[in-house]
Every structure is written in C-alpha cells, then in structure tokens.
Amino acid sequence: MIECQNITKIYKTEAGETPALKGVSFTIKDGEFVAIIGPSGSGKSTLMHILGALDTPTSGKYLLDGYDVSKLSDDKLADIRKNKIGFVFQSFNLLPRATVLRNIMMPFIYAGVPREERVARATAALKDAGLDESHFYHLSNQLSGGQMQRVAIARALVSNPALILADEPTGNLDSKTGEVVLETFQNLNKKGRTILSF
C-alpha cells in the first residue's frame, strides 16, 4: 500500500534550512497496524502530513497504491484525502455544539448525500468505532475524552478509507481510556484496515 523511497523534507526559513526528514525509506503492506515512534521534533508530524497527502517531500518518492503522490495535482491530492485516507487527530476536532451523529454526517451534508443514507453511514461508522448508540444524539462537548476519540475515529471511518492515520490518538487520554481506544484500533485492523499511529 505505502512505499517511501528516500524521503527528505527541508524547511527553509530566513535563518537557513532545517531538515525534518533525512532519507526515510520503508514499506507498509495492506492490513498492517504500524506505530511510528520517536521523540518530539523527530519528524513524525512531517511524515504524517506527507503520508496523508497534506504536504509533499522535498525529494524522494511516496507511492500510495502504486501512484507517486508527490507528483499529483492539488485536486488529485484532495481526492486521495477524501476517498483513501481517514485522519484521527489528537485534539478530536469535533464541533462542540453539534450532536455526535451530525459531526459524522457533516461531509455528506455538504456533498448533498440524502439524509437517510447520511444517517445510515454515520451510524455504521459510530458502531464500528465502538460508541454506544445512547450517545449518538449527545452534543460532542457532553462526552468523555475516550468517547470523543471514538467519535473522531468514526469520522475517519465514514468515507470507508483504506488507510487510517492517527496523530497521537491516546495523547490526551488517561491510560485506561487509552487502552480502550487502542483496542478499538486493533478491532478495526482485524477487519482489514491499514492503520498508522504517530
């Protein structure tokens, strides 16, 4: 699924050049669950942005399903983000005054998907993420941290992406809740999802 060949990323500022990635090469196969670890400042976020088609490398190749992502247009990159990749952010990025279900349905509302289909797809994603149905009509700011993270996972799942990128998914959670969230990812991986955790 993913092949990185000698990826480098150099940020240029008035103070000079700062290398964030220096010749990174690896392969990830369909259905793998991979954790990329390292200290703060080691380039994990930069790598996640490149793998998520949010940024391009300074040099090297990033192949996703055989396509050289670094050579695609902005429109093609947007299509990849929309159809192939689901993002789970550490800070959840939920709309606080919207219900759980509405948070998940939001992309479909803008895309003009009929209400019945929106509800069905959002419900299926929330169940896959392990959130109890009794919480579907709660406002997201009425949930615990672990429940909010499950909603964030459901939002990543709703477009049925092949690849899920998780940015420190347990970073804002206590250890017990973090274990529950990791178990959710393991269950999704057993169903065939490729998951990268940073």
Tell me the per-residue pLDDT of 97-136, one tens digit each, with 9 for 90 and over.
Answer: 899 999 999 888 877 889 999 999 999 999 988 899 999 9
Average pLDDT, the chain: 90
- Band of residue 184 on the pLDDT scale cut at 50, 70, 90: confident
Of 51, 83, 115, the domain-final residue: 83
Residue in the block written with tokens 């942005």:
49
Residue (of 67, 54, 77, 59) closest to 21 by Cα position: 59
Overall number of domains in the chain: 2
164 is in which domain, residue-wise? 84-198
Q: What pLDDT score does 159 carry? A: 84
Read off the pLDDT of residues 74-100 as tens digits, 9 standing for 90 and up. Answer: 898 888 888 899 998 877 889 988 999
- Is there a single domain that holds both residue 43 and residue 91? no
- Is there a single domain that holds both residue 35 and residue 94? no
- Is there a single domain that holds both residue 108 and residue 197? yes
CA 102 to CA 30: how far, in whole Å?
A: 31
End-to-end CA distance of the chain: 18
CA 194 to CA 30: how far, in whole Å?
A: 6
- Is there a single domain that holds both residue 53 and residue 112? no
Q: What pLDDT score does 168 carry? A: 85
What CATH number has the domain bearing residue 113? 3.40.50.300
